[in-house]
């Protein structure tokens, strides 16, 4: 729940500073990450709940985007159902009441019912918090920009390509949406076209670079392997480590490279991250 409120607040700030379209792009990126996590764990997995029973499991086993992005969607649904003005008043009171303390999920549920009676039942809070997977009433954020970018990516196999001069003005969110919507595996010449026209191997934004390298590794695009190896030596967040080491391990042609990169950098990773990656590499 804590992570969900954090991401909700971040996206409210994004909306205030850059508009609803930017918030919608960010929410769509987050939802993509959530669906990847649910697919990885399995739709019925304990680890896709907002309140999980971690008894007998190491924390590295269930780290994912679920608490962040499923949590965000739940909070956004509460806001949508209550109305922004009423929900903002609730959030203010919630923060004041629990400031500098910790609280359980049950305490949150009780406070929600006390301050906004009946809201939890209206949105199906029990399913959101205590059941696996993503409920059918999850909010969907859309915009003309989002639809255009996803449509362009999904038309790749039919020859659709970004205009190079137009894409030069794309925001980081634009690039993430586009890359996430592309086929997970591309032909070598297609990877080369993207890299040569947009210099993706040298991308300085970690989010964009990670999305690109996943495609490149899945596709066996060798000119990106060295950058993938160096990037994994530069970062320590599981947000980047897990998908890239998974991609390296899942491709038989890069499995050895993945093991070599892990061996070279394992001592520098946080113990929780290291444990999770060891499981991936041993799979």
pLDDT, tens digit, for every residue of 28-68? 999 999 999 999 889 899 999 999 987 877 766 777 899 99
pLDDT in tens, 103-118: 999 999 999 999 999 9
In the block, tokens 């990773």 appear at 269
Look at residue 60 in the predicted model and tell me its pLDDT.
Answer: 66
Distance of CA 117 to the CA centre of its chain: 32
Q: How many helices (H) and strands (E) does the chain have?
A: 17, 0
Topology given in CATH for the domain delimited by 158-282: 1.25.40
Average of pLDDT values for 230-256? 95
**Separation CA 26–CA 29 (nearest Å):** 5
Percentage of the residues of the chain whose pLDDT score is greater than 70: 99
Q: Residue ranges of the domains in the chain?
A: 2-130, 158-282
Per the model's pLDDT, the better-predicted residue between 274 and 57 turns out to be 274
pLDDT in tens, 128-157: 999 999 999 999 999 999 999 999 999 999
Average of pLDDT values for 161-173? 94
* Domains 2-130 and 158-282 in one fold: no
Q: Which CATH class is domain 2-130?
A: mainly alpha
Closest listed residue to residue 97, CA positions, set 84, 87, 112: 112
Residue pair 60/52 in contact (Cβ under 8 Å)? The answer is no
Residue pair 273/238 in contact (Cβ under 8 Å)? The answer is yes
DSSP codes joined into one string, 152-199: HHHTGGGT----HHHHTT--HHHHHHHHHHS-SS--HHHHHHHHHHH-
Look at residue 61 in the predicted model and tell me its pLDDT.
Answer: 72
């Amino acid at each position: 729940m804590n992570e969900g409120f954090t991401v909700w607040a971040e996206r409210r700030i994004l909306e205030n500073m850059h508009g609803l379209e930017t918030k919608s792009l960010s929410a769509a990126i987050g939802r993509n990450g959530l669906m990847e996590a649910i697919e990885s764990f399995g739709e019925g997995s304990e680890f896709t709940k907002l309140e999980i029973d971690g008894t007998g499991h190491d924390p590295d086993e269930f780290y994912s985007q679920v608490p962040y992005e499923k949590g965000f969607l739940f909070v956004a649904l509460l806001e949508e159902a209550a109305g922004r003005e009423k929900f903002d008043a609730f959030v203010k009171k919630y923060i004041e009441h629990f400031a500098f303390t910790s609280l359980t999920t049950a305490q949150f549920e009780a406070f929600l019912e006390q301050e906004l009676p009946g809201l939890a039942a209206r949105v199906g809070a029990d399913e959101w918090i205590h059941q696996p997977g993503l409920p059918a009433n999850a909010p969907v954020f859309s915009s003309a920009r989002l639809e255009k970018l996803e449509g362009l990516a999904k038309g790749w196999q039919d020859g659709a390509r970004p205009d190079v001069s137009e894409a030069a003005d794309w925001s980081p969110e634009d690039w993430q949406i586009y890359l996430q919507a592309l086929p997970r595996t591309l032909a070598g010449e297609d990877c080369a076209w993207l890299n040569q026209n947009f210099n993706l191997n040298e991308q300085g934004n970690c989010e964009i670079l990670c999305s690109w390298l996943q495609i490149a590794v899945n596709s066996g695009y060798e000119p990106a392997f060295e950058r993938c190896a160096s990037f994994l030596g530069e970062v320590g967040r599981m947000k980047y480590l897990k998908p890239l080491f998974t991609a390296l391990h899942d491709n038989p042609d890069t499995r050895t490279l993945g093991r070599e990169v892990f061996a070279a950098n394992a001592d520098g990773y946080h113990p929780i991250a290291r444990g999770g990656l060891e499981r991936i590499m041993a799979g």
